Each structure stands twice: as structure tokens, then as C-alpha cells.
Amino acid sequence: MNEQVNEETPMKHAKRRAALPALVMAAVLAVTAACGGRVGENGRIGVVYLNAEGYYAGVERGLRGTLGQEDEGPQLLQTNIQSDPAKESSFINTMSSAKADALIVSPASATASVPAMRLAEESGVPVICYNTCVEDAQARKYVRAFVLGSPTGFGRVSGEQMGDHFLRAGLKDPQVGVVNCEQFEVCVERRKGFEQALKEKVPGARIVASQQGLQLDEAVERAQQLLIAHPDLDAFYGEAGSQTLGAVRAVEARGKAGKIAVFGGDMSVEAAKKLQDGRVLKGVADISGIKVGRLAGRAAQDVLAGRPQTGFVIPAPVDRYLGAQDGARWLREHPDGIP
């Protein structure tokens, strides 16, 4: 990274959540041909989803709500790259050759994704990042706008919630374990915000261990290892959805429900139900995929219409959920489970 990152500087990588199937590019193009050009006559926009978690289903919902369905708005040519820069590069090469009207992308890598971003821009395909982007200096060259929820602000929500929990419990020197996703820079920034807020509330709090677990099964395993190595843990922080749910499942599996609290990121049906249950998961910070999709869709509309951008970074709101009532509220507000 070339410069110090702050809340206004585009992050490199991403949050992970729960399930959106990839669309096969050849099949999409075949449908276009079969429709005799009707699909896509209002434009074509390539969309890259970083992985198969439900957050990206929310992004798609937000995009379609803003851009319109394909019979009235642009066709969305979508792919799930499974965090693979090679898959991303192949898709963006296709979009660049096809002269798509725009590209909305959550890049896999701050560095490895740069050539694909450069190719798109040089091919006349404007790029809008959301959730993740390439390193800031390159993003400012090849990307028109970046929809981003503050990662340090995101982490602060959990730090404040956990700190209040410890204060209510009268714990002055609690021990905390972290299940992290710090392969991605956004997760590093979340941890900074979390630790700062927690220390402000409870100066004696200690992070005794941190393990990376990117997929849910791996996160469960890492949290269980932390519980074995540190049986006196008072709480876990999960930096994103898989890490949060992994910590919850590990606590439950080892019979520690009601003794060890979990705070973390990213709402989903399972997270909302665990929050409603209240024995383990106590609080969740969230950036809605639907809201991010709406903002990215509006940014694409502005770029395509030639309207000036008010700023490179388009802030996405960070929502906070605390306790059983908020878990129940989320489930009522998301009956189809799309975050």
C-alpha cells in the first residue's frame, strides 16, 4: 500500500457473507443472442461479485431496483469470481472486448486486479468499485467512483457494543479473541476501529489471540482452537460474517453459551436468529448489500449520463444491531433473507 489509509481512503478488499450463484458468461451472451437483441438494447453493465455470500444477492437487488429490470433498463452481465483474480481478469477482458457500457466490481486484489481495471478504463468501459477496490493511487487513475462503508467506523460499532457489555458485567480486564479476515485490508481497518473503541470503553481489555478463518468451516475451527488455548476468554470479535458465525458456532459447540459473548459484522438470517436468541451473539455491525447496490447503480447512472461526481468515495451507511429486539426486527424487515 502506497499511503496511509483512513476512513476516506478506498480500502483494498472485502467483507464476506452468505449465497448468490454465479452466472455463466457464455449462457448470458447466448440469451442475449436468442432474444434477437431485445435484452441489452438499453445497455449492458458488467457486474463482478467477489464471492458467493448473501451480501452480493443484496447488491444485485439494489442494482436492479435502481437500474430497472432488463426489459426496461440495462442488462446486467454478472459473475461470481470466488475471490480469484484470474477469473476476474477473464471476465473483465470479455467486458472490455464487448465494449460494455460500464463495469461495477468488487475487486479480488488491491494489486493483482489493477491490470484488469486499467484495461477496462483504456477500453472506454467506466469502472465503479464497491465494497473493495484496488490500491488508492491506481483506483484514482482507473476507477470513476468507489462505494464504501467506513471500515474503521464498522469496527468501532462492535468495539463500543462489546465495551458496554463488559461495563454492564463489571469486567475491568476482559480477555478477547479475534477471528479475522485480515487477508483483506478492509478487515485490518475494521480491527483498528474495534480495538480503539473497545479500549476507550474498557482500557484493561486485552486481545489475547487472533486467528484467520476466511470460510465458515475454517472460522469455526479457528475459534475452537482459540477456546482450547485460552479457556478464560470473555468474548470474541468476528471481523465479518463468516468469522462472527464461526465464533458463535464454536462457543455453542463447546458448551460456553451464556459465558462467552460474540460481537461482529454482517447481518444474515442466521446472524439475526442468533442475535434474537441472545445467548451468544450480542451485537452486529452491518453494511446492507441492498443499500450498496443502490448507491453503485446511481453512480453508474451518473457516469453514463456524464453527470459530475460529488466525490470519488461514495459513503455507504453502517448500521448497528444490538440484542434480541434488533434481531427480530431484521428478520421482519428481510422476510426473504436478502441483506
pLDDT per residue as tens digits for the range 259-306: 999 999 999 999 999 999 999 999 999 999 999 999 999 999 998 899
Question: What's the pLDDT tens digit per position in 174-192?
Answer: 999 999 998 778 899 999 9
pLDDT in tens, the chain (339 residues): 333 233 333 333 344 333 333 443 443 444 444 444 455 688 899 999 988 778 899 999 999 999 988 777 899 999 999 889 999 999 999 999 999 999 999 998 889 999 999 999 999 999 999 988 999 999 999 999 999 999 999 999 999 999 999 999 999 999 999 999 987 788 999 999 999 999 999 999 999 999 999 889 999 999 999 999 999 999 999 999 999 999 999 999 999 999 999 999 999 999 999 999 999 999 999 999 999 999 999 999 998 899 987 889 999 999 999 999 999 999 999 999 999
Task: Take residue 95 and report the three cell numbers written for it.
Answer: 467486458
Q: What pTM does this model have?
A: 0.81
Task: Report how far apart, in Å, the C-alpha atoms of 336 and of each of 22, 117, 211, 333 are.
Answer: 19, 34, 32, 9
Q: How far apart are CA 217 and CA 292, in angstroms?
A: 27
CA nearest to 95, candidates 172, 29, 16: 29
Question: What's the pLDDT tens digit per position in 252-262?
Answer: 999 999 999 99
